[in-house]
Chains A and B, each alone.
Chain A
Amino acid sequence: MKKILRMKKLIPNFNEMVVYHPYIAKKARGGQFVIVRADEKGERIPLSISDYNRDEGTITIVFEEAGVSTRKLAMKKEGEVLPTLTGPLGMPSVIEKFGKVLLIGGCYGIGAIYPLEKELKEMGNTVIVGIEARSSAFLFWRERHINCADAFYPLTRDGSEGLRGHVDTIIDAVLKDFGSIDRIFAIGCTLMMKKVAEKTKPLGIKTIVNLNPIMIDGTGMCGVCRVNVGGKMKFACVDGPDFDAHEVDWDVLIMRKKAYLDEELTSLTMMECMKDF
């Protein structure tokens, strides 16, 4: 168990890891995450589940090398066993027959929306998928999305592929083509999710975002992942990670994510500059 079956580099900074864990694979649902440690002295970090195969007992995790732990993870090879892999944690996304559902994924979200896509499709929704990145070279998993969704809208900041602009462009394009949207799920970097929320609030489209604050245990024990939603304190690991985008206090989330920036940079400096000093 917890053995890495495949480690693949997708695009600069992003990797795809397939791990054998029949318990997690049996239970995993879209919107959930796992807690991983890369080595015995490592930190516990949350990573979204991007796919699961109940028959084979495997889960797929798309992660970005955003710090020491993920860099250590990226260096692991097939056959290695992860010291910690706990899950599936968090409330699974609420999947019902909503009608026309738009899923927007950016960064690791391009992977994390995939299980939602599959589940929504099974429920009989019209599934529209938008993935965004800075340039065409930084999009991945196109095949998976094209094969699953009813419509596919890639977006790049520089227009090198698909639509050109930022997430609001996707929403406009989809509204133009489909007339209306019944629900939006957005997973990706905090700024992207915030922009989606700002766009859809005046339009009155219910938007669910999957928040990514700092976590330690992931089971609701420590409270470090607390976020302000609708003026109340919620724990992202047990009350979320899905929340109503229009209720989330984005400023507090962004501020809390910076809490350990100095230490994170110290660790990174130690890790990368160690070969020199």
Chain B
Amino acid sequence: MPKEIKLERTPMPKQSPEERRKNFFEVALGYTPELAMEEAKRCLQCKKPLCVQGCPVEISIPEFIKHIAEGDFDRAIRKLKEKNLLPAVCGRVCPQEEQCEKFCVLAKKEAPIAIGRLERFAADWEAKSGKIQIPEIPSPTGKKVAIVGSGPAGLTIASDLIQLGHSVTIFEALHAPGGVLTYGIPEFRLPKEIVYREVDFIKKLGVNLMLDFVIGMTATLDEILEEFNAVFLGTGAGLPWFMEIEGEHYNGIYSANEYLTRNNLMRGYEFPKADTPIKRAKRVAVIGGGNVAMDAARTALRLGAEEVRIVYRRSRAEMPARLEEIENAEEEGVIFEFLTLPKRYIADDFGWIKEIECIRMKLGEPDASGRRRPIPVEGSEFRIPVDAVVVSIGQSPNPLIPKTTKGLETGKWGNIVVDPKTGKTSKKGVWAGGDVVRGGATVILAMGDARIAARSMHQYLMEGIW
């Protein structure tokens, strides 16, 4: 008997746009148990589930959804955690519309199961219930592993390897763990409390966390290799791109990294209660169209900006940002200037940004990435008055470690070259994954890389063959 298919996704309770523009609390409030079960019951429990192929860490999606539908949330979270140790994070930041939900059978009817929301629900439920289970750790293997970077890749591989009995030490350059989860993704998308909770969990498993330790400066990678049997590099894409146009040095022009770090890591929005300041500009322009740009724009709104613009050189369809974030930004009143490119910056007498001179673009033939290339429209220059600009056009991998390490092969834009099947680099005993390999990508892909590297590392540690 065909089950009645409900073709409407259970809506997610959200703060209203007027409300949430003023605060840094999470926008999406999460499903209640009733809403979660309602959504979970929509799942058709396909015999050959297509969703799983979209998941970089191969979560057993129909199973955990079934547990939710039955009201057995405990088993749901345990099923999730078999494959994904950071479900609270992923449920919030994964671009599910490009991954699992894209392949869902109901996606053709534009009502795919809200897999991400259900994952988030299960994770939040576990945290609220206070019953977080610590898995059993097998006896120590005697092998020591160093993880460089406590971002999503680092945390994933650390927890994988500690559960295989190895001794794990994470080296983090900043004074707080989480990497981009902490400094990059704003509080209203991913509350830091969740990140610290996950880090705490990993520490409870026995992982040693060394903060304020910059591999490449405080100790070189070669020195680390003398003490540890294997090293994983998850240092991320922490080198901001600038457009290198005239006037980029003026005050009020930030890289997205700086803007977000001041706000998220250093809690600039609490100034003067916290010491690090951030300018609460009234008219802000964010250059770029990715998730980072959306984050920067929505952060600017919450800091009290009256007018926030996204300046993007292509059109909405080409924007790489997560759909939900684009929609949220639109609801909150962010103005989108599509097909626009900044040409130069103009400052006032004190060196503060005053205006951006922009030029309109039109889309031409597709380029190497497959997206249509933007071409400037002659004579279409115009100026936008601003008092702050956030340049969010992308990042490349931080060059510190390749610069200070012998024998580590890098690609043309500074990324570390790895064997995609194992995550091994060109240097013996060294693996890498995440943004440092891919350039600015996603959290879940970093976690996927980490998982692959973990398997390869474990084999190397136990068998000793490179």
Residues of A at under 8 Å CB distance from B?
2, 23-24, 27, 37, 41-44, 68-69, 83-89, 216-217, 219-224, 226-228, 233, 238, 249, 252, 255-256, 258-260, 263-264, 266-267, 270
Q: Given B218, B258, B350, which contacts A255 in the complex, CB threshold below 8 Å?
A: B350
In the assembled complex, the CB of A20 is this many whole angstroms from the nearest CB of chain B, namely: 14
- The 21 listed contacts between A and B (C-beta, < 8 Å) are A23-B213, A41-B274, A43-B266, A84-B175, A86-B175, A88-B217, A219-B217, A221-B239, A221-B257, A223-B254, A223-B257, A224-B255, A226-B249, A233-B244, A233-B248, A238-B400, A252-B351, A255-B251, A255-B350, A264-B277, A270-B272
Q: How far is the CB of A214 from chain B (nearest CB, A)?
A: 10
Chain A positions within 8 Å of B32 at CB level: none
Chain B residue contacts of A24, Cβ below 8 A? 218
Question: How far, in Å, is A74 (CB) from chain B's closest CB?
Answer: 15
Q: Is the CB of B275 within 8 A of A217?
A: no
- Residues of chain A lying within 8 A (CB to CB) of residue B175: 37, 44, 83-84, 86
User: Cα distance A43–B257 when bound, in Å?
Assistant: 16
Is B67 at the interface (CB under 8 A from chain A)? no
**Interface residue B194 (Cβ < 8 Å from any Cβ of A):** no
Q: Cβ of B415 < 8 Å from any Cβ of A?
A: no
Q: Count of chain B residues with Cβ under 8 Å from any Cβ of A? A: 42
Given the known inter-chain contacts A233-B249, A260-B277, please indicate yes or no for A222 contacting B218, CB distance below 8 A.
no
B190-245: which have CB < 8 Å to A?
Answer: 211-214, 217-219, 238-240, 242, 244
Cross-interface CB contact of B242 among A87, A220, A233, cutoff 8 Å? A233
Of B219, B272, B275, B399, the contact of A220 (CB 8 Å cutoff) = B399
Q: CB distance B399 to A267 under 8 Å?
A: no
Interface positions, chain B 248-272, Cβ under 8 Å from A, are: 248-252, 254-255, 257-258, 261-262, 266-267, 270-272
A220 & B398 in contact (Cβ 8 Å cutoff): yes
Residues of B within 8 A of A220 (CB): 238-239, 398-400
Q: Classify the interface of chain B: helix, strand, loop or mixed.
A: loop
Tell me which residues across on chain A come within 8 A of B218, comparing CB atoms: 23-24, 27, 86-88
With both beta carbons as reference points, the residue of chain A lying nearest to B351 in the complex is identified as A255
**Complex interface: chain B residues within 8 A of A258 (CB):** 251, 350-351
B384 at the interface (CB under 8 A from A): no
A-B contact count (CB 8 A): 117
Task: Contacts A43-B275, A217-B174, A221-B257 known; list 14 others, CB within 8 Å.
Answer: A27-B217, A37-B175, A41-B273, A86-B175, A86-B212, A87-B214, A216-B261, A216-B276, A222-B258, A222-B261, A224-B258, A258-B251, A259-B251, A260-B277
Contacting residues, chain B, for A86 (C-beta < 8 A)? 173, 175, 212-214, 218
Q: Is the interface of A mostly helix, strand, loop or mixed?
A: mixed
| Cα-based distance from A217 to B239 in the complex (angstroms) | 12
A219–B400 CB distance below 8 A: yes
Query: Once the chains are docked, how many angstroms separate the CA of A119 from the CA of B272?
Result: 42
B146–chain A nearest beta-carbon distance, Å: 14
Q: Which residue of B lies closest to A254 (CB)?
A: B351
Q: Give the residues in chain B near A44, CB-CB below 8 Å.
A: 175, 266, 276
Instruction: Report the Cα distance A85→B217, complex, angstroms.
Output: 13
Cβ contacts under 8 Å, B271 to chain A: 263, 267
Residues on B with beta carbons closer than 8 Å to the beta carbon of A267: 271-272, 275, 277
* Chain A residues in 8 Å Cβ range of B249: 226-228, 233, 249, 252, 256
Select from chain B the residue with minimum beta-carbon distance to A263.
B277
In the complex, residue of chain A having the shortest beta-carbon distance to the beta carbon of B220: A27
Q: Complex Cα distance A42/B250, Å?
A: 26
Q: B332-352 CB contact bits vs A (8 Å, 1 = yes)?
A: 000000000000000000110
Choose from B240, B252, B272, B279 the contact partner of A223 (Cβ within 8 Å): B240
**Would B273 and A217 count as touching, CB distance under 8 A?**
no
Across the interface, name the chain A residue whose C-beta is closest to B240. A223
**Nearest Cβ distance between residue A226 and chain B, in whole angstroms?**
6
Shortest Cβ distance from B236 into A: residue:
A221
Residues of B365-398 whose CB lies within 8 A of A:
398
Closest to B172 in A: A86
Note all chain A residues with C-beta closer than 8 A to B273.
Answer: 41
B267, closest chain A residue (CB):
A41
**Given A220-B399, A222-B257; A266-B272 close (CB under 8 Å):** yes
| Complex Cα gap A273–B243 (Å) | 43
Q: Which residue of A lies closest to B395 (CB)?
A: A221
A68 CB contacts on chain B under 8 angstroms: 275
Closest to B212 in A: A86
In the bound assembly, the distance between CA atoms of A264 and B351 in angstroms comes to 18
Do the beta carbons of B351 and A224 come within 8 Å of each other?
no
Q: Which residues of B contact A270 (CB under 8 A)?
A: 272
Instruction: Tell me which residues across on chain A come within 8 A of B240, comparing CB atoms.
Output: 221-223
Q: Once the chains are docked, how many angstroms separate the CA of A233 from the CA of B241?
A: 11
Note all chain A residues with C-beta closer than 8 A to B238: 219-221
Nearest-neighbour CB distance to chain B for A224, whole angstroms, equals 5
Among B212, B254, B398, point to the contact of A224 (Cβ < 8 A).
B254
Contact status A85-B266, CB under 8 Å: no
Which residues on the A side are within 8 Å of B279 (C-beta)?
260
Give complex CA distance A183, B461 in Å: 51
Pair A87/B217 contact, Cβ less than 8 Å? yes
CA distance A219 to B212 in the complex (A): 11
- Chain B stretch 173-196: residues in CB contact (< 8 A) with chain A: 173-175
Q: Chain B contacts of A37 at CB under 8 A?
A: 175
Q: Which residues from chain A contact B254 at a C-beta distance below 8 Å?
A: 223-224
Q: Which of B219, B257, B262, B270 contacts A23 (CB 8 A)?
A: B219
Shortest distance in angstroms between A239's beta carbon and chain B's nearest beta carbon? Answer: 11
A2 to B270, CA, bound (A): 27
Closest residue on chain B to residue A45 by CB atoms = B275
